[in-house]
Amino acid sequence: MPEVKAPYQPGTPCWVDLMVPDQQAALDFYRDLFGWQGEIGPPETGGYSVCTRNGHPVAGIGPVAAPDQPAAWTSYIASADAATVHSSVTAAGGTPLTEVMDVMTLGRMFLAADPAGAVFGVWQAKDFIGAGLVNEPGSLIWNECNSRGAEAASAFYAQVFGLTFTESESMPGYQEIKADGKLVGGLQQMKPPYFTPDTPSYWGVYFAVDNTDSTVDAAVKRNAVVVLPPTDSPVGRIATLRDPWGAQFSVITASQPG
């Protein structure tokens, strides 16, 4: 079901957000591209905007914390106890980047990096579970850890979140991530020609679209840059873009509904 009403299983990517220098311009860009609705939030939330599609939360967009902070999409992994996971990150060889923070009555969160350097967030839901709409056009459909050290990364996520990894039957070398037996994401070793040598490890985000090619055309007209042109894959037609502020994201017209 595209609508999500129950809390996410721990270990499942449950939310994505974008920190960007020009928040209003980013809200306009993603509104035009994906049909999102959102406005700059109140001062007590730091201006953070929860964008919606058809009335359901789909992603967050907020201002960067410092002028020199690069724009980037962040994936958040669900947890039943953020404080416990925070301790586990260090024990497993990762690096906590923030302390655990309360976000009003919505939940608790922190940011961390895995042993290969990929940054991710952890979300412990209270009043807000995360994305309320997934796997349909204009919403999140896939989260993917692209790693310079895939073996160390998979061991890390297995230890911290209890995730399991199995090689994809359709894409040799690609690891499918499962939480409690359910497919929740992917992990792969970064290799040329798809990744340049200077690209660091990162969690990629994929949004579902009706037509990958027309979405890429629309994004380019709005000053996005094509990183990977529309390409057929075993799971659908994909493309990767950088928005006008340099934040990278991917789109996919899936072969089968998510």
Domain parsing of the chain, residue ranges: 13-125, 140-254
Rounded CA-CA distance 258/245 in Å is 29
Strand pairing class (119-125; 107-113): antiparallel
- 130: DSSP letter: S
3-state SS, residue 217 = helix
Predicted pLDDT of residue 257: 57
Contact 249, 207 (CB under 8 A): yes
Rounded CA-CA distance 93/101 in Å is 21
Residue 196: HSE in the Cβ half-sphere, 13 Å Cα cutoff: 4
Contact 128, 48 (CB under 8 A): no
Rounded CA-CA distance 177/57 in Å is 24
In DSSP terms, 238 is beta-bridged to 231, 252
> How far is the CA of 42 from the CAs of 47, 192, 211, in angstroms?
5, 43, 35
| Low-confidence residues of the chain: pLDDT under 70 | 1, 257-258
Whole-prediction pTM value? Answer: 0.97
Choices 3.40.50.2000, 3.40.50.620, 3.10.180.10, 3.40.140.10: CATH for 140-254: 3.10.180.10
**DSSP H/E element including 154:** helix 150-161
Examine domains 13-125 and 140-254 and report if their fold is the same.
yes
3-state SS, residue 98 = coil
Tokens standing for residue 120: 């991710």
Tokens standing for residue 122: 């952890």
Q: To which residue do tokens 């129950």 refer? A: 6
Choices 3.40.190.10, 3.40.600.10, 3.20.20.240, 3.10.180.10: CATH for 13-125: 3.10.180.10
Rounded CA-CA distance 28/246 in Å is 16
pLDDT digits (tens, 9 = 90+) for 80-134: 999 999 999 999 999 999 999 999 999 999 999 999 999 999 999 999 999 999 9
Q: Residue type for 38, please?
A: G
Predicted pLDDT of residue 1: 46
